[in-house]
Amino acid sequence: MLPSLPELLGSARVVALPLVTRFRGLDTREALLLEGPEGWAEFSPFAEYDDAEAATWLRAALDFGWQATPLPLRERIPVNATVPAVTAEEVPGVLARFPGCRTAKVKVADPGQTLADDVARVRMVRRVLGPEGRIRVDANGLWNVDEAEHAIHALNEFDLEYVEQPCATIEELAEIRRRTGYLDVGVAADESVRRAEDPLLVARTGSADILVIKAAPLGGIHAALALIHQTGLPAVVSSALDTSVGISMGAHLAAAIPELNFDCGLGTASLLAADVTTDPLLPVDGGIPVRRVTPDPELLDRYAAADDRRDWWLARLTRCYALLAD
């Protein structure tokens, strides 16, 4: 059963956190935090998402704040560094924010940049990580099949672990897998899972080797675990530029997966210039602990969103709650 709307509105706090580096076109990350009987949870679908999609993120927050989490199978989650679409010269500074991480996810195919920019960025990541480091790239579905094939060949010299969402559609993912299978570069699906009407379709059609799983867009930890079990594919748990509260939900999900064969994308608190806690879930020795996060009241006040943005988020919460209640 859902908690009451007055209960949610009573604990809701909206924050606006500055980013270290522009990411996904954002300089500030807004989030709405809720306190439930199990602890704090985060509701932070990106502003462009409609209410129907955002309501799933609310379901995830309620799952985490109002339901017990599954039994953890590990106490610490190995994480990857995340490299935004920065210049090659900026890469060492970015990687320095992820101490001990031996895997890096590199953003590519950024609008306004070229494949040469991507190659230079990935080359610098390889130089900093050394030959034993693992590199994965994420195109966010922005290449067509021909562009993806060309780019994967150009980047293959850096020994890619996998390429995440090289193309937008499941049909395109299947085609790029067919074209580049001999290169032994895995294809991972992100948007084709979390933004799909049928998140199982990517597995049924053999369109990906790996699932990139975010708990919030899938409706929470329990729903995400069920999806992973049904697909039978290896999973990488990732975040959505969350505060440490949201990252805690991802860590609890990763802790409950029976086989966790890849470093997870849960080190992204390092991309925030501020957080809601004095003890954020930042990578240490390449990993983060599995624990709940309680926001610091002083930080909630310091980074409180402007009144108009707070009201926008509370109205969004109210609309999404109505969709869940129906």
Mean pLDDT (whole number) for 272-280 = 97
State the CB neighbour count (10 A cutoff) for residue 275. Answer: 24
Residues involved in catalysis:
107, 214
Q: Is the domain 5-69+300-325 a CATH 3.30.390.10 member?
A: yes
Quick: pLDDT tens for 152-183: 999 999 999 999 999 999 999 999 999 999 99
3-state DSSP of the chain: CCCCHHHHHHHCEEEEEEEEEEECCEEEEEEEEEEECCEEEEECCCCCCCHHHHHHHHHHHHHHHHCCCCCCCCCEEEECEEECCCCHHHHHHHHCCCCCCCEEEEECCCCCCCHHHHHHHHHHHHHHHCCCCEEEEECCCCCCHHHHHHHHHHHHHHCEEEEECCCCCHHHHHHHHHHHHHHCCEEEECHHHHCCCCCCHHHHCCCCCEEEECCHHHCCHHHHHHHHHHHCCCEEEECCCCCHHHHHHHHHHHHHCCCCCCCEECCHHHHECCCCCCCCCCCECCEEECCCCCCCHHHHHHCECCHHHHHHHHHHHHHHHHHHHC
Lowest mean pLDDT among 16-20, 77-81, 181-185, 271-275: 181-185
Q: Which residues are paired to 104 by β-bridges?
A: 81, 135
Does residue 25 carry a pLDDT above 90?
A: no
Residue 308, annotated as binding a ligand = no
- The domain ranges of the chain are 5-69+300-325, 76-289
Residue 209, annotated as binding a ligand = no
Residue 285, annotated as binding a ligand = no
Mean pLDDT (whole number) for 133-162 = 97
Mean pLDDT (whole number) for 284-301 = 98
The pTM score is 0.95
CATH class for the domain made up of 76-289: alpha beta
Question: What is the β-pairing status of strands 39-43 and 26-36?
Answer: antiparallel
